[in-house]
Amino acid sequence: MEVSLYKADLKDAVTIHEMKVKAFMPLLEKYQDFATSPANETVERIITQINQSFTDYFIIHHFEVAVGGIRVVKKDNHIYSISPIFILPEHQGKGIAQKVFTMVEQIYDDAKSWKLGTILQEKGNCYLYEKIGYKKTGATKAINDKMTMVFYEKHI
């Protein structure tokens, strides 16, 4: 499978924003999480994230076509978090995200652990993360009566 990552810079902020809105809008419509949904983030917020010294944003390409993005946040003590990863709806289910996780773990080979959060009710996301070695931390956060965030960690 031909998947590649391109480190984003400021000129990519609008592209990331457009893909993020398209990828997360179905979840926003389903869960009505207006205050927390990445679909509601502004271009300015993405610019801020790209400019953060502890953040790397990548555009995900599949056969040279931009299909999503991933933000890697560097924490202390070789701990990293993924916040967020997203694949455009028409490219989901092709194994792209799984491949991206492998690639990111190779890029950040000093990592001792990885963290991420996802929607508990999205069983496909939970299945993917568990399949690639992430374990539930036991922590959850109710966002509203339709949606709960669940948190995962993977120790290397």
The CA distance from 115 to 46, in Å, is 20
Burial class (CB in 10 A: 0-12, 13-18, 19+), 23: buried
Residue keyed to tokens 């205050």: 35
- Residues making up the chain, counted from first to last: 156
pTM of the shown model: 0.95
CATH class belonging to 3-111: alpha beta
CA distances from 82 to 11, 76, 138 (A): 22, 14, 18
The CA distance from 144 to 74, in Å, is 29
Nearest to 33 by CA among 24, 45, 42: 24
Query: What was the pLDDT predicted at 1?
Result: 72
The CA distance from 97 to 101, in Å, is 6
Domain boundaries, the chain: 3-111
Query: What was the pLDDT predicted at 139?
Result: 98
Query: What was the pLDDT predicted at 70?
Result: 99
Helix or strand or coil: residue 33?
coil
Query: What was the pLDDT predicted at 30?
Result: 98
Averaged pLDDT in 10-residue chunks for the chain of 156 residues: 95 98 98 96 98 98 98 98 98 97 98 98 97 98 98 98
